[in-house]
Amino acid sequence: MQLSSVGRFLLVAIVSLLCLMPLWYYLSPQLSKPVFFMAGEAASTLFHWALSYTQKETTALLNTTLKVVSVQNGQFKSGKLAPLVDYRLLGYGIVIFWALVLASFPRHWGRKLLIGSLAMLPIQALNVALQWCNDVFNRAGPEVFVQTGLPGWVADVVAFLYHFNLFIFTALAPVMLWLLLDREFLAKLHAQARAAVAVQRPQ
């Protein structure tokens, strides 16, 4: 493994990401189905106010019993809260994983690509669930949060997890998963670095 292989890896990863992004965008309605299913089942199991979810292409509504009141044309109108999430805004981590696998091209890459893709689905379901929860606990207002019957610290925890996931974990998770499935690549990098240091070390 030569020193320039790191730059070559990064170049291939970026090119692969650009090429795979349209494919992921096209497949996202199908890829989002198991993600929304897991997130919807988890929400309806954990929270008594979550009834079901409704999917339309790459978006999903969480149907709840939580009442909301809005003012339209000077009149008060009530309804049920139904937070919306778009898979294409949260599910791009899987295409990052694809690009990394193709760039490093490990042994049994096809099997690792399949295993990693399946592992990404529950991670993406967690992303969806966090956005739903943040919309309910923090964005819908205190009048809605009171109806959940949960203590106030839950909203703070969800807000922290939501922003951590949005800005860090969504992109970091596929990298961590790839490193877990392709440890040989890290071993080669380590061996390469040690060899480079040995060459530069004075005799």
> Per-domain residue ranges for the chain?
5-200
DSSP code of residue 149 = T
Residue 78 is predicted with a pLDDT of 86
78: which strand partners? 69
Residue 41 is predicted with a pLDDT of 97
The pLDDT averaged over each successive group of 10 residues in the chain (203 residues) is: 71 96 97 98 96 97 93 78 96 96 92 96 97 96 94 96 94 95 82 69 60
DSSP code of residue 106 = -
Residue 85 · residue 60 · CB < 8 Å: yes
113: which strand partners? none
Residue 198 is predicted with a pLDDT of 67
H/E run at residue 53: strand 50-56
The Cα–Cα gap between 1 and 104 comes to 12
Residue 196 is predicted with a pLDDT of 63
What lies within 8 Å, CB to CB, of 167 at 6+ separation is: none
Residue 31 is predicted with a pLDDT of 97
Residue 115 is predicted with a pLDDT of 97
Residue 139: CA count within 13 A, CB half-sphere:
14
pTM of the model: 0.87
What lies within 8 Å, CB to CB, of 155 at 6+ separation is: 137, 138, 145
Residue 3 is predicted with a pLDDT of 47
Give strand ranges (E) for 57-153: 59-64, 67-72, 75-80, 84-86
101 to 14, 26, 39, 153: CA distances (angstroms): 12, 20, 26, 40
